[in-house]
Structure 1
């Protein structure tokens, strides 16, 4: 639900703009506001779950997300919708770190591959199927009200999820009332906002001055690291910086950041190209990206079963498949011009999706393999924060290239899309280099790392 709302809104933006008369800046905030508060709450919420209990944090986040979804669907104005999206993103930031923390808590190391595989399948499907589901709702209900049901859809899911969470998720051990490091929370929150804000507003803030905001964010994050080192000497810090001395965690977090910079931008530029460049409807554009979702779902489930055997080699193979599939997508669109291009790219996208399934969940399993259970929530949240930052960086960079090429080619969508696609591929290639570095510098077999507590 929380990851579906990252991508499902893309195909509904024209309907939302026409119905609520949104300006370009307000339309941007419907998308970027969600990503901003999502990334902001991940680490503090993960730390809270570690210290006070993950079950209750998960349920509270679900309730808040469901209520915010209802508010978004009822929005009578642009301001109402933007605020509801901000609350939605914050609630998503509360929910997500509890998931990886609960998997660490409830499963022994050798058992975590399968639940992380299901989590990876959920991530892949929910991100990729969003445009299809949004297109179906708008085509079925109509553009005037179809976008509202994109948000209303979360209400019954949220109610059932809260009930099942209370019924199935164990309360866990009694938590100590240890400090939540409020100064660290403030520094990290300010740093993340300053870094993400110019990225998510890249097209709305002209000029280069906005990057001074990002530079200030980097300085604040440096202060955060210094504070955490000092604070962690006597108390439990917000982020255990010692985790980054563990090769599997540090390189895995880097792979996740780089891969999400490429992975999520695929749907951003491809759905735009299909609808505006090739004249596809919202439903047709959603169908065209479905092969990626199918490949990702199947491969994630399979990858979870075999990650203990193949370790980071599986991630390397998956990244190679993603690169090959995206390169083949470019060739397919070049060989079959016009409206048939989207269907010609179905098989290459299936290959890329299968590769993605062998990347996301296996990488998360391997990255968190040596993390102590007591720090599982915050460690998973740091990993996801890196993914959110990677997503913002990728969309900003790829979007800037995409729209600049579109302007210079006088509205020719083909060259603009292909240039942006190759930048997307370059992010995945850099992630592949990081994964190969992990394989070549490994000091022990991946299965041994997974077997350790």
Structure 2
């Protein structure tokens, strides 16, 4: 579906009219993103059932969670770049079809090997979907509408992570019997099939562009580097940190080699996988990526700590454990919707205030869990968790908006993939480190679950404080120097078409410090 053109674009070029079905298309992408991100955490509550039913070892069944997260993270940037080069609609629909098929295969798995293989493929499909979501927002929306759309997208990211445990517990409660865990995967099939049909109808088409080569050396260096950093973390529960610690310096070295290679490709006017100018010349991108990575270290790991505390320490069933942290999810959804309307007005200050809310809310909740009587603990902690959720909604959504809003549309997929790779890496660190600290404190304190949860949440707050420091530095930069003029990058709507031979605004953008001379320009 091609948009109509109006002769009022920058430099006299025709400007594409907004797609009249863009909001309906957005809901399709949000539903798909929610489903794929929910699968990161929803499966955790069903692992004991899977282990008993399939006769698997604890190490093997852990790959049902870890393998999905690992495959998800590995393909984000290459998939984003493929979407930039080949069309986001095409990659999105192919990945969604693959996700539905893999979900059905995981639900029908007769052995643990089959299940792990299906989850690895499902994670790869989810990783292909994720960068297309943010890139399609860049493509379909502009101005204040883009902020509202990113607000909904950020809320989806935050809420999907928070409601995973309660959704998994609810499905297990409704699906009785030892085979109930299979419905955690089967539920994706009708939802995904409906999203696929709606996507075929609503997602915008764009004219095909010139053929571009994929930066295979860059893909290899980035993929192996991320793999080296994440493998010790996904094997953390089985001693991976002590056995595979040497992979950390290998991963850092490979990522440094990746950065050097990309700089060399860009200097030769080639087609890098991730253009270095996104970090050096695109306002807010480097700070936003760092902030998101640090925030997800604390944000992702704290949910496993709460689950361990409520289920192992207080004896809650999975559903009740999930319901205990639902106020955070409700607050996160509300904060995301509101922040989408405020981000253009408040900028980085909104993220700063949100981080303060998260720190206050989670800090108060940790103190209540450490000191309050068991019978009223969850009721007393609910308001604090709600405040923390409101703050989180004002962190994730605005940070996505401010990180990606100045990215040229033709690079939106790769840029969104890199941002989410940082979040997934931060999440892997948090989900490995915080439960590990929980068990360490538990052993040292003589099985004091209250002390373990308080100190583990405190460690999560250290990472969030580091994110707050990044936010303060970025806010002060804008406060001292003034926010730069932000031309509407959506004028580059021809990301899949050859650019006009004459681009008189290019020199003007270069003077403003924007990323110029990118692929196809």
Counterpart selection for 1:244 from 257, 274, 279: 279
Structure 1 stretch displaced more, 439-448 or 144-153? 439-448
Partner of residue 357, structure 2: 321
Residue 235 in structure 1 maps to residue 235 in structure 2: no
Counterpart selection for 1:272 from 283, 286, 308: 308
Deviation at 1:160, TM superposition (A): 0.7
Deviation at 1:413, TM superposition (A): 1.8
Residue 381 in structure 1 maps to residue 417 in structure 2: yes
In 1, Cα distance between equivalents of 2:145 and 2:382: 34
Partner of residue 167, structure 2: 133
State whether residues 274 and 342 of structure 1, in contact with CA within 8 Å, keep that contact through their aligned partners in structure 2.
no
In 2, Cα distance between equivalents of 1:227 and 1:408: 46
Structure 1 stretch displaced more, 400-409 or 245-254? 400-409
Partner of residue 2, structure 1: 36
State whether residues 138 and 145 of structure 1, in contact with CA within 8 Å, keep that contact through their aligned partners in structure 2.
no
TM-score, normalised relative to structure 1 = 0.97
Counterpart selection for 1:212 from 222, 243, 246: 246
CA gap of 1:77–1:434, structure 2 versus 1, over 3 A, is same
Partner of residue 16, structure 1: 50
1:32-181 equivalences in 2 (<5 Å): 32-142=66-176, 144-181=178-215
Deviation at 1:78, TM superposition (A): 1.2
Q: Deviations over 1:271-300 (max 9, x none)?
A: 121111111111111111111111011110
Deviation at 1:360, TM superposition (A): 0.4
Where has structure 1 moved over 6 Å in runs of 4 or more?
none
Residue 355 in structure 1 maps to residue 391 in structure 2: yes
1:278-297 equivalences in 2 (<5 Å): 278-297=314-333
In 1, Cα distance between equivalents of 2:148 and 2:318: 34
In 1, Cα distance between equivalents of 2:465 and 2:177: 39
CA RMSD for the aligned pairs? Answer: 1.5
In 2, Cα distance between equivalents of 1:298 and 1:175: 39
CA gap of 1:391–1:450, structure 2 versus 1, over 3 A, is farther
Counterpart selection for 1:400 from 425, 428, 436: 436
Relative to its length, the structure with more helix (as a share) is 1
Q: Deviations over 1:81-101 (max 9, x none)?
A: 111111111011100000101
In 1, Cα distance between equivalents of 2:54 and 2:374: 33
CA gap of 1:111–1:445, structure 2 versus 1, over 3 A, is farther
State whether residues 13 and 27 of structure 1, in contact with CA within 8 Å, keep that contact through their aligned partners in structure 2.
yes
Bigger Cα Rg = 2
Structure 1 stretch displaced more, 401-410 or 433-442? 401-410
Please, which runs of 5 or more residues in structure 2 have no aligned partner? 1-34, 491-521
Secondary structure of the corresponding residue to residue 9 of structure 1: helix
Residue 424 in structure 1 maps to residue 460 in structure 2: yes
1:248-263 equivalences in 2 (<5 Å): 248-263=284-299
In 2, Cα distance between equivalents of 1:220 and 1:340: 50
Q: Deviations over 1:151-185 (max 9, x none)?
A: 11100110011111111111123222111111111
Query: When the two structures are aligned, how many residues end up with a matched partner?
Result: 453
Q: Deviations over 1:338-361 (max 9, x none)?
A: 253223211111111110000001
In 2, Cα distance between equivalents of 1:88 and 1:282: 24
Residue 25 in structure 1 maps to residue 62 in structure 2: no
Structure 1 stretch displaced more, 304-313 or 208-217? 208-217
In 2, Cα distance between equivalents of 1:189 and 1:273: 35
